[in-house]
Amino acid sequence: MKNHIRVIDGLGRIAIPQEITNSLGWCQWSKISVTKAGSNVVLKTFKGVCCLCGTENNLIPMHSTHLCQKCIDKIKES
C-alpha cells in the first residue's frame, strides 16, 4: 500500500487521497467515525447507532435515524 503524507491545514483538517476514499466507497457526504487509539487515529465508515439504546448492532434505518431490532421488538411488545 502506498504511503501518503499529508499536511494538517489551519483548521485541523487533512485530505484523504481519492484512491483511498474510492476504495472504501466514501463520497462527499459520507459519515466517518474518527477515534483515537493510542497514538493512532482510526477512521471508520459511520453506520449509525440506535436512537433509543445507542447500540451499533442490527440497525434498521427509520426516516432520518436508526433503530436496532431489539428496540423494535420491545416497541412491538408494548
CATH number at residue 35: 2.10.260.10
Domain of 20, in residue numbers: 1-46
Do residue 28 and residue 63 come from a single domain?
no
Do residue 52 and residue 36 come from a single domain?
no
Do residue 7 and residue 42 come from a single domain?
yes
Could you identify the residue written with the cell 472504501? Answer: 24
Do residue 3 and residue 41 come from a single domain?
yes
Look at the pTM and tell me if it is higher than 0.85. Answer: no
Question: pLDDT for 28-74, tens place per residue?
Answer: 888 898 999 999 999 998 888 899 998 888 999 888 888 999 999 99
Do residue 37 and residue 71 come from a single domain?
no
Hey, what's the torsion of the CAs at 29, 65, 45, 74, to 10 degrees?
A: -170
Do residue 1 and residue 37 come from a single domain?
yes
Q: 1 pLDDT band (50/70/90 cuts)?
A: low
